Structure 1
């Protein structure tokens, strides 16, 4: 089959998928929250049982990360997330203020098109499917080509469990004939209501051209600032654990460390004790050339590889227990690969004389790439923490926690999510950890509590007061204030009778 035939088949399939989803969603929109919850519970249970199998399959197909950590993410997306959303009221009457006589009604947006990444294919697919059905929406997936078998497998599990529990056929679907034209057709279809993109940056422009509302998790380039009051041992342990989790493919993970000068040596010593290898200047240059291809895209050969594997790619021999590679840097620029996102266990290391200069360095890094995403601060100084929280162009400020797990809501009480909104500064329309509440419209209901006369009476009083006041001011400027006020009130009362 030639490429033209494949493109045409993909486009035709996309149209059928959206049309079927549209009809299924009309039925789904009539379901009460309790019925949706039953379906979501069965979906979560089915994928939870297959979490390990899917983690291994994902690693074998993509070669990214570690299956053991993907297993944890799959449990997080199926079990942990489900427990968080199972009692949420998302559709129907979701809140009521009897005193002020108002109500909020959750209304599904309709048909959602979702693009999961190759780096987290299983967990992101489970997560998006659960929050879509929880909120009464139909959802169609365009699998990432590098993980199409795994994503297809998890969707088959989800669809079977959901339809056996009463989900209308077509409410969850996926594109089997993969082509950019087919994905674009999904996005551009008149019945598509919302697009969700995670980890597929090249498709964000296509989504924007469609004119449809788009939720996208942008690139992460989060710095981790270690302030002088921090527990340095804990901070370093958190950063290493976070940066090595699934070999660094989670966008929320730390990309650089910024340390105050007075503790920099202590931090570096602690990093070495925890398995960090500090690159020489020449080694940094060699590795830096390996991160990105000539067109500016990330080199897939380093994505999700361990520190030892990344070192070997440039002919560098390091100890087998090396966990992260660190390059000491001074400047931030778009051409410096260490100033950008690196989807592997590599960190840049910056030293600044105090927290104010460190604050500026963090802003530089985030503006360079990662605007609107995530920042981590390790500190016990509440004043400094608040200054960072107030001034950084990010959607999440994480305090004394590993960024990878804190950002997605595993080690924090942020909403458990695998799509992290970057807000307007990151090119999206929400800064939330995306939840079912981001997938509904809220219909406002307000009962009448006042009559038109209640408003016009106030206007008449004001007009009368102004009229009498002006008259008194013009004719009795010389009268003392007590007499003036008494006469003003008498005339006002006379006009209102």
Structure 2
């Protein structure tokens, strides 16, 4: 590329993003005058644009066709469930004007928009993730520019067309939600540099770029969720939930179980329960063939990412009738790290299986596994003993510990747990992230605090240092 052509390309990138930002800022200035009721109508409009059954199915079919990832029925379920749950969380939540009064402190809190949000979205969820981020960002009075993956661009375009139709109904500017029509790294990075706020779900390269852009940002950590099966677990229930989660949308979720750690006393029984749910345990030769297919050059191949079990069996030459009809595959593992690639994130219907006797030792190995891949993200445990679950939460450096749940169903929020619905899950400083909770609309607002004079509450030194002086002297 010549210097002149390189300069033209840089100019084209800058002009493309400038045009998007110009329209977004104009729309956002109008939007920030909306009342809470009108803002909530806009959020509901976004939700309906993807939940409406015909649109949801069209988006799911297009996503599978153009990305080659996952399956239509589960994407339809995901589009509805994640959006409905997020709308539930947003309904009734204050985000315009006064959002909290603290009379005892003399404080009144006011919500203010951030401005224009750059939302980078992955190919694994090319409809649900942009819709989810858009709902949260608009709840805060912001405009959104979506940056889809190249494979997900067609799905994003269809989603935005549906969304604009709904925005027209509620009298909101269409330019509140725009997208990069021909996504590229250059355009995405330019948008990150110039937006007011960046939220990235997807590759760790994009997450690092967001945090390096100089723009306030939230990124997510790499998934690689381990789940523990304790000696007193309900094995049939645990196996069913692991199967449901492991196979959902062919494991496109970063929260899908990647390894199961089974207590020695119930190891064989749990394997039998997993087989009853459609799991197939590979022998040594089959494991070697699958490993070669999944990591042909030491890096995880996209050939198996979010593919059907039948396709994976075909690629790896798994000819046993039970393998050909399996719902997911199990690989016996006893190590962690680069020499044991099945211990890492697989983004496929492949589950590493470990056995353990001592919980402390098992947690040490699980922490090593998370340090290898999946730092800070999450862990699950199936147990009847609440103290064992608390020990896991105390010991592991993770943002979430799920108890007796299907991990990918509950980790990003569920109707039967207290986690907020999201498709963007922070993994804390363990993963180089700025948050360690599920993304919510609260991450998309600035807060002004009006502080009034209140009666003074100044303590004496004795009040604060009494315990210290008693223990250590003055």
Return the TM-score normalized by structure 1: 0.87
Question: 1:36 aligns to what?
Answer: 39
**Contact preservation (8 Å) 1:115, 1:200:** no
Once the two structures are superposed, the pairs formed by residues 162-311 of structure 1 within 5 Å of their partners are 162-189=167-194, 192-292=195-295, 294=297, 296=299, 298-311=300-313
What is the SS of the residue equivalent to 1:170? helix
Q: How far did residue 153 of structure 1 move? A: 0.6
Does the CA contact (< 8 Å) of 1:115 and 1:141 recur in 2? yes
CA contact (8 A) 1:13 1:177 kept: no
1:428 pairs with one of 420, 424, 433: 433
Task: Report what 2:469 is aligned to.
Answer: none
SS in 2 for 1:257: strand
Question: Is the deviation greater in 330-339 or in 165-174?
Answer: 165-174
Q: CA deviation at 1:409?
A: 1.1
- Note if contact 2:157-2:179 (Cα within 8 Å) is conserved in structure 1: yes
Quote how far apart the aligned CAs of 1:37 are.
0.5
1:51–1:71 Cα contact (<8 Å) kept: yes
Report the equivalent of 2:111: 106
Ranges in structure 2 where 5+ consecutive residues have no aligned partner: 463-474
Q: Which has the larger radius of gyration?
A: 1
How far 1:215 moved relative to its partner? 1.4
1:293 deviates by: 5.8
Task: Work out whether 1:447 is the aligned partner of 2:472.
Answer: no
Deviation at 1:194, TM superposition (A): 1.4
Could you tell me which of 136, 139, 142 is aligned with 1:134? 139
Secondary structure class of the residue paired with 1:255: strand
Q: Secondary structure at the match of 1:342?
A: coil
Match of 2:79 among 59, 74, 81: 74
CA-to-aligned-CA distance 1:313-359 (integer Å, 9 cap, x gap): 12222434301111111110134211111111001011111222221
Q: Is the 8 A contact 2:207 2:220 kept in 1?
A: no
Distance 1:31 1:231 in 2: 51
CA contact under 8 A between 2:427 and 2:435: conserved in structure 1? yes
Moved more, 19-28 or 276-285: 19-28
Q: CA deviation at 1:218?
A: 1.8
1:84 matched to 2:86? The reply is: no
CA distance in 2, matches of 1:321, 1:7: 51
Q: How do 1:324-473 and structure 2 match up within 5 A?
A: 324-410=328-414, 411-450=416-455
Distance 1:366 1:74 in 2: 29
* Alpha-carbon spacing, 1:124–1:287, altered in 2? closer, same or farther (3 Å): same
1:116 matched to 2:121: yes
Distance (Å, rounded) in 2 between the aligned partners of 1:288 and 1:299: 10
Instruction: Return the TM-score normalized by structure 2.
Output: 0.91
Gaps in structure 1 of 5+ consecutive residues: 463-497
> Deviation above 6 Å: which 4+ runs of structure 1?
none
Map of 2:60 onto structure 1: 55
Secondary structure at 1:59's aligned position in 2? Answer: helix
- Aligned residue for 2:33, secondary structure, equals coil
Equivalent pairs, count: 454
Task: Go from structure 1 to structure 2 and tell me whether the alpha carbon gap of 1:293 and 1:198 turns closer, same or farther (over 3 Å shift).
Answer: farther
Distance across 2 between alignment mates of 1:360 and 1:240: 25
CA RMSD of aligned residues (A): 2.2
